[in-house]
């Protein structure tokens, strides 16, 4: 009897254990309550694999482009550039200064054996000799006039001859001075000098070459390449967005991802009727000499520092009909579809003019994934109804 009671007791415990296990299993498999689905909203479960495709970023106000990037070309800054030709004819008698050489104002670029210089030196020597003779003649006429041996007319003629000869000397001396030749030299040599400091960026002369003043091509180009000029053509419809002193951002293919500052210096006063563009010149500092004349550049015209807007990547935008939409992350699992107004649309970014606020979390990647999930939820909700 005792053994039978013990057997019934163990069977009861087994049945209770089985009931408890089934109850625990039922509780574990019971789905978590889902929040109500509102139109335009998406919920992802914390362990959803789709969350790996969704990336967000906080929105903020920033300076924004006023128009699409412009194309420009870098050139010499003419205010610090000199195209140098020889003012006299002659033959090069020494090796001209090499390309890339640093020069100062007055540095010798080349030397010539010049008949023109020899003639100028001879003219100065002759004028000096004539002046000495005229001076002696004038003094003699003064003595004779004082002794009443000659007339006042002869004295005045001697004075005029002296004045004319002195003028000839001054003219010959000025000619030598303009050529940077010391009066009294008579070797016929001419030194071509740089009128500005900088670097020899072009050279079109070789040893032994005969040069003349009427050459169309300059013998040397000397420029300070630490100060360059950026030239760009702006369509007439956009010229109102360009102003003197405006700061620009410049990029070149040689240095991808790097921006160089430029400043608008001059806005052309003539419209090219064929291209409907106006030329704009900008100052382009080049302290490290990495930028080179002839390079093509892309120019970004930004807004004033006080004119701020929200910019978003185009990967965040999807279009339905005639409207543009983005998703905003309300929390880690909750997303809301939001219509936005886009102003300027660039290659990979867009300027937002309405629909978003600073501080909101924008879905920058995965918007289409959320849109597909939203459609699935909407279809599922419709079937339930």
Q: Within a domain: residue 100?
A: no
Q: Within a domain: residue 26?
A: no
Segment among 102-106, 134-138, 224-228, 248-252 with least mean pLDDT: 134-138
| Tens-place pLDDT, residues 270-281 | 999 999 999 999
Q: Where are the alpha helices (DSSP H) in 69-219?
A: 115-146, 152-178
Q: Do 289 and 325 share a domain, yes or no?
A: no
Domain boundary (268, 284, 301) is at 301
Query: 237 in helix, strand or coil?
Result: helix
Give dist(CA 4, CA 9) in Å, integer. Answer: 9
Q: Within a domain: residue 97?
A: no
In this predicted model, which residue has the larger pLDDT, 168 or 34?
Answer: 168
Q: Do 313 and 372 share a domain, yes or no?
A: yes
Q: Do 324 and 362 share a domain, yes or no?
A: yes
Q: Residue 66 to residues 72, 143, 302: CA-CA distances in angstroms? A: 17, 87, 6
pLDDT for 258 equals: 94
The answer to whether 84 and 109 are in contact (CB under 8 A) is yes
Determine the average pLDDT of the residues in 209-225.
Answer: 93
Residue 359, Cβ neighbours under 10 Å: how many? 9
CATH number, domain at 281? 2.40.30.170
Q: Do 291 and 324 share a domain, yes or no?
A: no
Q: Do 291 and 333 share a domain, yes or no?
A: no
Q: Within a domain: residue 292?
A: yes
Q: 18 falls in which pLDDT band (50, 70, 90)?
A: low
Give dist(CA 296, CA 19) in Å, integer. Answer: 81
Determine the average pLDDT of the residues in 61-71.
Answer: 91
Q: How many domains does the chain have?
A: 3
**In this structure, what token pair is assigned to residue 321?**
């009909």
CATH number, domain at 331? 2.40.420.20
On the question of pLDDT at 94 being above 70, the answer is: yes
Question: Positive or negative, the Cα torsion across 97, 109, 289, 280?
Answer: negative
Q: Do 323 and 340 share a domain, yes or no?
A: yes
Q: Within a domain: residue 18?
A: no
Q: Within a domain: residue 146?
A: yes
pLDDT for 321 equals: 86
Determine the average pLDDT of the residues in 231-249.
Answer: 94
pLDDT for 146 equals: 83
Q: Do 239 and 277 share a domain, yes or no?
A: yes
On the question of pLDDT at 220 being above 50, the answer is: yes
pLDDT for 374 equals: 75
What proportion of the chain, given as a percentage, has pLDDT over 90?
A: 57
Per-residue DSSP letters for 278-337? EEEEEEEE-TT--S-TT-EEEEEEBPPTT-EEEEEEGGG-EEETTEEEEEEESSSSEEEE
Domain that holds residue 122: 115-187
The average confidence (pLDDT) of the chain is 86
Query: What contacts 179, CB < 8 A, 6 or more positions away?
Result: 87, 88, 117, 120, 190
On the question of pLDDT at 11 being above 60, the answer is: no
Determine the average pLDDT of the residues in 50-67.
Answer: 90
pLDDT for 332 equals: 80
**In this structure, what token pair is assigned to residue 82?**
């000199």
Determine the average pLDDT of the residues in 327-349.
Answer: 90
pLDDT for 379 equals: 55
Q: Do 228 and 255 share a domain, yes or no?
A: yes
Give dist(CA 113, CA 42) in Å, integer. Answer: 88
Segment among 21-25, 105-109, 285-289 with least mean pLDDT: 21-25
| Tens-place pLDDT, residues 305-321 | 888 999 999 999 999 88
Phi, psi of 212 (to 5 degrees): -140, 160
Q: Within a domain: residue 208?
A: no
Nearest to 56 by CA among 65, 44, 68: 44
pLDDT for 15 equals: 52
Nearest to 120 by CA among 191, 194, 178, 165: 178
Domain boundary (265, 281, 301) is at 301
Q: 156 falls in which pLDDT band (50, 70, 90)?
A: confident
pLDDT for 143 equals: 84
Residue 261, Cβ neighbours under 10 Å: how many? 12
Query: 26 in helix, strand or coil?
Result: helix
Domain boundary (284, 301, 318) is at 301
On the question of pLDDT at 30 being above 50, the answer is: no
Q: Within a domain: residue 359?
A: yes
Q: At what angle do helices 152-178 and 115-146 cross, to 10 degrees?
A: 160
Determine the average pLDDT of the residues in 366-382.
Answer: 73
The answer to whether 125 and 186 are in contact (CB under 8 A) is yes
| Distance spanning both ends of the chain, measured CA to CA | 62
Q: Do 283 and 333 share a domain, yes or no?
A: no
**In this structure, what token pair is assigned to residue 12?**
């009861």
Q: Do 156 and 176 share a domain, yes or no?
A: yes
On the question of pLDDT at 286 being above 90, the answer is: yes
CATH number, domain at 180? 1.10.287.470
The three-point CA angle 130-133-138 to 5° equals 120
The answer to whether 71 and 232 are in contact (CB under 8 A) is yes
| Tens-place pLDDT, residues 158-211 | 899 989 999 999 998 888 888 888 887 778 889 999 999 999 999 999 999 999
């Amino acid at each position: 009897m005792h053994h039978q009671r013990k057997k019934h007791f163990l069977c009861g415990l087994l049945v209770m254990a089985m009931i408890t296990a089934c109850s625990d299993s039922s509780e574990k498999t019971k789905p978590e309550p889902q929040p109500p689905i509102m139109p335009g909203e998406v919920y992802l479960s914390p362990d959803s694999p789709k969350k790996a495709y969704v990336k967000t970023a906080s929105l903020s106000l920033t300076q924004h482009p006023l128009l699409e990037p412009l194309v420009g070309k870098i050139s010499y800054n003419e205010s610090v550039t000199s195209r140098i030709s020889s003012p006299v004819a002659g033959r090069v008698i020494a090796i001209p200064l090499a390309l890339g050489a640093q020069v100062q104002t007055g540095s010798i670029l080349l030397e010539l054996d010049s008949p023109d210089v020899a003639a100028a030196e001879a003219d100065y020597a002759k004028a000096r000799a004539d002046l000495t003779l005229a001076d002696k003649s004038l003094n003699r006429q003064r003595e004779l006039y004082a002794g009443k041996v000659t007339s006042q007319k002869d004295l005045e003629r001697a004075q005029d001859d002296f004045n004319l000869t002195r003028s000839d000397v001054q003219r010959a001396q000025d000619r030598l001075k303009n050529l940077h030749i010391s009066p009294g030299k008579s070797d016929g040599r001419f030194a071509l000098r740089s009128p500005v400091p900088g670097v020899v960026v072009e050279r079109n002369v070789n040893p032994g070459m005969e040069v003349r003043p009427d050459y169309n091509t300059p013998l040397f180009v000397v420029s300070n390449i630490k100060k360059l000029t950026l030239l760009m053509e702006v369509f007439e419809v956009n010229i109102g967005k360009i102003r003197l002193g405006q700061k620009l951002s410049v990029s070149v293919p040689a240095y991808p991802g790097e921006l160089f500052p430029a400043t608008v210096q001059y806005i052309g006063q003539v419209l090219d009727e064929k291209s409907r563009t106006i030329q704009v010149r900008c100052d382009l500092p080049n302290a490290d000499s990495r930028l080179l004349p002839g390079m093509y550049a892309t120019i970004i015209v930004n807004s004033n520092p006080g004119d701020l807007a929200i910019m978003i990547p185009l990967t965040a935008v999807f279009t339905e009909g005639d409207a543009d939409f983005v998703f905003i992350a309300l929390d880690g699992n909750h997303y809301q579809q939001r219509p936005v107004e886009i102003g300027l649309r660039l290659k990979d970014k867009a300027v937002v003019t309405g629909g978003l606020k600073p501080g909101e979390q924008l879905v920058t990647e995965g918007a289409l994934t959320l849109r597909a999930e939203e459609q699935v939820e909407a279809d599922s909700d419709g079937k339930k109804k």
